[in-house]
Structure 1
Amino acid sequence: MTPLDRLLPFDRDGALAETFTRLQLLRGTAAVLGGAAVGAALAAGSASAASAAGDIAILDYALTLEELQAAFYSEAEHAGALDGALARQATVVGAHERAHVVALRRVLGGHASARPAFDFRGVTERPEQFRETAVAFEDLAVAVYKHEAPRIASREYLAAAIAIHSVEARHAAWIRRLAGILPAAHAFDEPLARARAMELVSSTGFIVARARTEGRSAPRFTG
């Protein structure tokens, strides 16, 4: 027998039964709302985790691009095959790219990937090929940052990406001018998805599992 059953004989106007019923409804509603709140919290947590993972993936790939460019310019400086304005560009931009690597590694912390090995196959030792490749690298970096930045949820990660993006755009304009290409041909730039950028970089063969010396006294790679 429930407490209500014991009280019913004395509940001549039904007030107790009505009160008990309301209490039961309130408890049921609270349970439903509580379950919904827990569900919402779990969903929010899952969304937050997915967002964080997405941010890390974006910045980690940006790090790969910065490592690629830093190694490219550093090797060109080491090779000493450039002179004049092109050598100046490689020196200045190389320092920038190395700073970008340091900054991204600091932001990513333990989430940063290991530094890849690179083999530029002599491109850094031939001024014309160096210039053409530098144009491609800088245009690629600008397009990738443009595509990925709006997808970054973390303010800290976004700030890091935006700070680098504007400098990469200046790099692109600088090397385009040295290559005789109009620095800003259009009023708007097209973004490039990370997946497409990965395909393009992979197709160059510049990122290698293990660097090759090809029997040269001065190796053509940055390991």
Structure 2
Amino acid sequence: MSDRITVEHFDIGTLDVDQAIREAEAGVIGDTRADFFRKAAVGGGAMIGGGVLLAGMPALAEARPSKRQDVAILNYALTLEYLESAFYIEAVKNGAISGEVLDTATIIRDHEVTHVKALKQVLGRKAVRKPKFDFADTTSDPAKFLATAVALEDTGVAAYAGQGPRLKQKAVIVAALSIHSVEARHAAQVRSLAGMNFAPKAFDKAKSMKQVLKIVNGTGFIQG
């Protein structure tokens, strides 16, 4: 479990980020990072505020694959990675977990932080800003921590699976798959620690962006 996904897995040289950004600026993605959540949907917006992600983003990310859409999906993935990394950082720092649970949380924390760095490097100036989070007592209560970790990891796996087929650029697809497989390992490990079946099904069901955002909104973790 010590292997990490690093920015080296992203073939930035073959990813036409500049072109994707130009297409994005000409379309629905705004001029600033925060504008991504306000202008990601035609005729509506998606923004972080008051603990709610207004789900306008799916309109773009469920359209025909394009470089512009790749930018939108990568920012969607970055937001989920922000959430997961912040959760594990806080849990490890709080000191409420110990033993194998702490060891696992520390490894996953490092992975998620690396995922964030990699996605931000690929997106450059179009990377959305990190939201503010409030995890309540889920990072200070060992039982709630495990339950939340299972929910976040399962959702993350389903989220990557849902958007993978919508990506256009090969470099982005390879990068997303390399993160997706690690997220699946995280999910299996935290499920085992929680006393759950580590792989309950032979086939995982993908979730759309709309479904994932509904789950994320429901946690109340994102504060703005």
Cα distance in structure 2, aligned partners of 1:191 and 1:168:
13
Cα distance in structure 1, aligned partners of 2:124 and 2:75:
10
Q: Partner amino acid for 2:208?
A: A
Map Cα deviations across residues 28-77 of structure 1 (whole Å, 9 max, x no partner): xxxxxxxxxxxxxxxxxx9xx97122111111010000000000000001
Q: Secondary structure at the match of 2:133?
A: strand
Q: Secondary structure at the match of 1:123?
A: coil
Q: Partner amino acid for 2:126?
A: H
Aligned partner of 2:221 in structure 1 is: 206
Aligned partner of 1:93 in structure 2 is: 108
Cα distance in structure 2, aligned partners of 1:75 and 1:187:
33
User: Conserved in 1, the CA contact under 8 Å of 2:156 and 2:183?
Assistant: yes
Give the structure-1-normalised TM-score.
0.71
Map Cα deviations across residues 145-195 of structure 1 (whole Å, 9 max, x no partner): 011011100112112111100000000000000011111111111000011
Cα distance in structure 2, aligned partners of 1:135 and 1:153:
30
How many residues align structurally? 163
Cα distance in structure 1, aligned partners of 2:105 and 2:65:
38
Looking at both structures, which has the greater relative contact order when contacts are Cα pairs under 8 Å and sequence separation is at least 6?
Answer: 2
Q: Does 1:135 align with 2:150?
A: yes
Q: Secondary structure at the match of 2:198?
A: coil
Aligned partner of 1:156 in structure 2 is: 171
Q: Partner amino acid for 1:134?
A: A
Aligned partner of 2:132 in structure 1 is: 117
Aligned partner of 1:61 in structure 2 is: 76
User: Conserved in 2, the CA contact under 8 Å of 1:107 and 1:157?
Assistant: no
Q: Secondary structure at the match of 2:129?
A: coil
Cα distance in structure 2, aligned partners of 1:56 and 1:172:
26
Identical-pair percentage = 46
Give, in angstroms, the shift of residue 109 of structure 1: 1.2
Aligned partner of 1:104 in structure 2 is: 119
Alignment of 1:163-202 (within 5 A): 163-202=178-217
Moved over 4 A (4+): none
